[in-house]
A and B are shown apart, each in its own frame.
Chain A
Amino acid sequence: AQTVTQSQPEMSVQEAETVTLSCTYDTSESNYYLFWYKQPPSRQMILVIRQEAYKQQNATENRFSVNFQKAAKSFSLKISDSQLGDTAMYFCAFMKDFGNEKLTFGTGTRLTIIP
């Protein structure tokens, strides 16, 4: 079974700073997919970014980027130029492969952006 670990329950940074959220996972699969989801205080979960394990290039989406280290089984999320709207719970998630679209989530990191 897969496990996903987020070791930072809470973080806070000043607005405009850069912050990195950590995620490690454990799997014996060779191909899989990793995701970061964001849950703002209004509670609807939305997808931030995804990474396919077979791609060596790190995914980026505007101010959000990942550092994917397959050998180390690490998948961190970097938020640049943080904004007040980035305040949310962030969940790292793992999907084994398509045809089995179940997600395994980490326990989450509560990020607060301080004005």
Chain B
Amino acid sequence: DVKVTQSSRYLVKRTGEKVFLECVQDMDHENMFWYRQDPGLGLRLIYFSYDVKMKEKGDIPEGYSVSREKKERFSLILESASTNQTSMYLCASSGTGIYQPQHFGDGTRLSIL
């Protein structure tokens, strides 16, 4: 089974801090994704990566950056955390081809105080 592991289940940080959310997948997937999940808004794509060192902006990239130095790891960075970034963050990965579903991690509930 595909395993997507997010480093923290719950995280509390302060306004202005630099925050790192880590995601690791064990299936040699090319594609990795970071979503933000908010009540009433569903999941919104922040960034995705289709290869090592490659990234593409999603629908809501402002205030975030990403890093993918190794194929299995995709990091989401909040450069200067703000209270409106309090949310649930979901990481996903998928292969490429005719059909490859996205596999999700358990999520990180991030609170910015």
The contact of A45 among B48, B58, B96, B104, by CB within 8 Å, is B104
In the complex, given contacts A101-B102, A103-B102, A108-B42, what are 15 additional A-B residue pairs having Cβ atoms less than 8 angstroms apart?
Answer: A6-B42, A35-B101, A43-B88, A44-B105, A45-B90, A47-B102, A50-B101, A98-B99, A101-B96, A101-B100, A102-B58, A103-B43, A104-B45, A105-B42, A107-B41
Interface centre among A42, A50, A106, A107 (most CB of B within 10 A): A107
User: In the assembled complex, how far is the CB of residue A76 from the closest CB belonging to chain B, in whole angstroms?
Assistant: 17
Interface size (A, Cβ < 8 Å)? 23
User: CA of A45 to CA of B88 in the docked complex: distance in angstroms?
Assistant: 13
Task: Number of B interface residues at 8 Å Cβ cutoff, please give it.
Answer: 27
Give A107 to B102 CA distance when docked, in angstroms: 18
**Judging by beta carbons under 8 Å apart, are B99 and A33 in contact?**
yes
Q: Within the assembled complex, what's the spacing in Å between the Cα atoms of A98 and B31?
A: 12
**For chain B residues 71-104, which have a beta carbon within 8 Å of chain A?**
88, 90, 92, 94, 96-102, 104
